[in-house]
Chain A
Amino acid sequence: MAYTSISGEKMVRVDMISEDLLASMTSAEKIRMILDGVIEGKILVLERGLMPEEEAKLIEATMVEISPEFVGIEIESYPAKERRSLMDRLFGRTKSQARLTVIGSPNQLKTIKKDRGLITALISEV
Chain B
Amino acid sequence: MWSSLRGRFSLWVGKIFGRRSVKIGIYGPPNVGKTTLANRIIRDWAGEDVGVVSDIPHETRRVKRRKDVKINVDRSSIKLDIVDTPGLATKIDFRDFLSYGLEEEEAKKRAKEAAEGVIESIRWLDDLDGVLLVMDATEDPYTQVNITVIGNMEARRLPMLIVSNKIDLPTASPVKIIEAFPQHTVVPISALKGNNMDTLYDGIYEHFR
Contacts and interface: CB of A to CB of B under 8 A. Distances in A.
Main secondary structure of the interface of A (DSSP, over half): mixed
Given A72-B89, A106-B91, A59 B122 contact: yes
Contacts of A79: 142, 147, 150-151, 180-181
Contacts of A114: 140, 142
B161 interface: no
A13 to B, nearest CB: 20
A20 interface: no
Interface string B123-165: 1010000000000000010101001101110110100000000
Contacts, number: 88
Given A72-B91, A74-B90, A96 B151 contact: yes
A62 B90 contact: yes
A71 B93 contact: yes
Main secondary structure of the interface of B (DSSP, over half): helix
Contact of A55 (B89, B108, B142, B151): B151
Interface in A59-112: 59-60, 62-64, 66, 68, 71-80, 82, 94, 96, 106
B198 interface: no
Contacts of B22: none
Contact of A68 (B90, B94, B150): B94
Contacts of B88: 59
B76 to A, nearest CB: 26
A66 B111 contact: yes
A64 B89 CA distance: 13
A29 interface: no
A71 B93 CA distance: 5
Contacts of B94: 68
A96 to B, nearest CB: 5
A64 B115 CA distance: 7
A96 B90 contact: no
B148 A55 contact: yes
B154 A96 contact: yes
7 contacts: A55-B152, A56-B125, A63-B119, A68-B94, A74-B91, A79-B181, A96-B151
